[in-house]
Structure 1
Amino acid sequence: MSKKCVIVGGGIIGLSCAYYLQRAGHEVTVIDQDNMEGGASYVNAGYLTPSHIIPLAAPGVMKQGIKWMFSSKSPLYIKPRLDPEFLKWSVAFNKSCSAVNVNKAIPAIRDINLLSTDLYSDIKQVENFSFQLEKKGLLMLCQTDYMLEKEAHILELATREGLPARLLSAEEVQQKMPNATLNIKGAVFYECDQHTTPGEFMTELKSLLEKKGVTFLKNEQVIDFELSENKINIVKTLNGKSVKADEVVLATGAWAGFLNKKLNLNILMQAGKGYRINSTVENGITLPSILCEAKVAVTPMNGFTRFAGTMEIAGINHKINKTRVEALAEAVPKYFKNVLITKQEKAEAQCGLRPVTPDGLPYIGKTSKWKNLTLATGHAMMGWSLGPATGLLVSEIIDAQKPSLDLSVYNPDRKF
């Protein structure tokens, strides 16, 4: 039976939900407060990362984050502020930085990443898309023995989970990228990972959905809902539009706070700002790489190289912090000695906001508050990687089908 499905949010998660709901025969409307041409879905590193099995909330992260608070150039910056929602999130995040949380998260992160990676390939083949999708793996580049040992430990966990990976010497890494000038001790190489150019996929997906009859309401901010009998009947926008809904999907990412309050949802989430710099200068970088000590991602995309990084938890804003951009730029030549990021490239840096939950796992599923509301948000740094899998799961939830994965770990009503 066809339903009127309203998706709030037009990033990778929202469009993936629209894709699978439309494919299942539903009438789909996507509402986004922007023009759907920017944000985290466009400025991310483009990774599909089954290798990233450790959640952000892990032992020692809060302690390290407190130390980094005093450095404007640190990879993780948490701005302290007297905001009730931030304080509640901070307490829950600190509680989640445990071995118990990591052990719970590892199989969940692995499974949803592997599913999503397969779905990217499926979409490309079925829809005859041309977006970049390459399986070249991912290098975790280390400059110190300490970091190499730390990454080797994660390598053991990954191989235990069935993910193909191995330790490489500096010489072996250099052989893989002979035209790059590397300054490293060694690396862990994950053969399971893939990479994309995000803007290409987003453009093709939006075009396909429009052809398939999906309605896009751009530059429309959702401000209210018409509610009755534990159901959302109408979604209202600032510009006066009222959209009838049989099912509502909240895929608003970092902007969910206001709507959560409107719907009386107890959802803990904070915005984590990330930055990217694009460079068109030839540099010999042919494999996706993470600069481990600096926490910077390097991706060879179609026609340019992208350098992305930082996690700045400082509220909802799109202000470009030049100090953090400079820190991102300064980190790269420490690992790739032949790379120089130009003044113009730094001036053109962009940022995006990623929705961060206290335990590092997304919210995917129905809530107990509203019968026809499904949440699809909180993916933090893995939103791009987990888009298609989330879309498929949301479609299965709405159609009351057996889900492809165990959804209990993603339950929006879970306690912290």
Structure 2
Amino acid sequence: MNIKQFKDDPLAHYSYAIVSDGKMALVDPSRNPMQYYRYAEEQNAQIVAVFETHPHADFVSSHLQISEQTGAVIYVSKMVGADYNHKTFDDGDSFKMGNITFKAVNTPGHSPDSITVVAEAEAKTALFTGDTLFIGDVGRPDLRENAGNMKAKRVDLAKKMYHTIKEKYTEFPDEALVYPAHGAGSLCGKNMSSDSSSTLGNERQGNWAFKEQTEEEFVEEILKDQPFIPSYFGFNVDINKTGAKNVQKAVAMANFILMAKEVEKDILVVDTRDEAAFKNSHLPNSFNIMARSENDKFETWLGAIVKPEEEFYLVLESVEKFDEILQRVAKIGYENQLKGILTLSAEVSNASEAFDLEDFKKNKDHYTIVDVRNKSEVEEGRIFENSFVIPLNELRSAAHQIPSNKPVVVHCAGGYRSAAGSSILAGKFEATKVYDLSDNIKDFTE
């Protein structure tokens, strides 16, 4: 059994290709299927099956496109009620590919329709656990309360997860390999390991969810301190239930404008350039959501700040970034909201106010300080005692809570979120200066 893991770093997403006897199966594929097609060519293998462990919230899957282009059968739980052609795959169902037998185990908890895909061959067992079992953690049960048309209550799902962990994996040996759909950095759990795989034996020993505890204790632990839920999560669940459009066709419709001088004033502009370039010159009504490299979680913050179906323009550093950034937008299904992709003319001169760091250090009380970190970070300790705490994903709707009688200074933990936050507030306050503390926050934390 030949298993290849693919990683999407910005979303901390793992997908898989399993090859046997000239055939290939995929598990939880990303939006753009080309990496899987290249691997199929390398292996001289035909893609015959796509397994969806559940309708994902944090990315759009390419399962429908792969099925249409390769003839592969999509396997998914009947609980999904999928709108695309598929075969249901639930407890007792199996599928043979070469010398591998795939089996389904219903593992509700993260969602009511989650399955674990079991692959068995030559005394080797691999568990593709989706968002049910992570390395060191389990999937959060609170996403479906905000998941568009596919709702489920968090307490009910937390209880289901308790029974899934206690009962659904008992038949598998300690040496069974565990391959999750996410790792550290994903918002689908809270304490995931940076390890990309594990064994069931290691999880039984080290994962908090397997320790002896009552249902009540388990529910309390899994529900506390979960990270925020970006506004696009429910939108993606609904897309994945229906099946996304061919990504190459979808992004081909993007309108490109070279060296733009202006756009409509009432349309949001998402500027992906480095904060220094943004502060030097940008269009009005611009939010600085940086996409400098894969280390920037651009997809997450785009989907947290910009609402599903809200129109926006996208500013690039260079035409060289066109394909890369467009594909990142498509990962969360936002390509249809794009009014246009721009590079900026040298005539664009709107600049951010220069920040006097030394004056701020000496006279902090002369400023209104806004902390845009997540609530769990703030609970570990405030950096400035009298700051207003508004997480970045809530800032657009909660900006009215911030007084405007003093200059505003925005900070986070390292500078990425404060660049976005300060650009959001700059558009809200016409007569109040807004500054980004940026990475100068280190002067107050080290």
Tell me which interval the TM-score lies in, with the shorter structure as reference length: under 0.3
Q: Give TM-score scaled by structure 2 length.
A: 0.26
Q: Give TM-score scaled by structure 1 length.
A: 0.27
Q: Larger relative CO (CA 8 A, sep 6+): 1 or 2?
A: 1
